[in-house]
Amino acid sequence: MGTTVLSLRIDGELLERLRHHAAKRGMSVQDYVVRTLVRDDFDERFKTAVEETKKFYDVGQGHP
């Protein structure tokens, strides 16, 4: 998988909070943001998979 540059304009206060969170984890702001985005994307995909599985098995629809 290749990489692409993404440029963001963010509030100075937000950047300082990101720097603080990243520093606590010994990470760069870039790595921290990417990790957060990847985790959020995984959570979304996992939630969708669970919902699709429930539909497939008709869980929670009142059927035995």
Q: In 3-state terms, what secondary structure has residue 44? A: helix
- Of 38, 36, 42, the C-alpha closest to 14 is 36
What is the C-alpha to C-alpha distance for residues 33 and 17, in angstroms, rounded to an integer? 11
* In-domain check, residue 14: no
- Of 41, 61, 24, the C-alpha closest to 32 is 24
* In-domain check, residue 19: no
40 or 1: which leads in pLDDT: 40
* In-domain check, residue 6: no
- Counting the structural domains of the chain, the total is 1
* In-domain check, residue 46: yes
Residue 64: what pLDDT? 52
What is the C-alpha to C-alpha distance for residues 60 and 42, in angstroms, rounded to an integer? 24
* In-domain check, residue 3: no
* In-domain check, residue 53: yes
User: 28-52: per-residue pLDDT in tens?
Assistant: 999 999 999 998 888 888 889 988 8
Structural domain harbouring 48: 30-58
What type of residue sits at position 7?
S
* In-domain check, residue 50: yes
As given in the structure block, the two tokens for residue 40 are: 């959020």
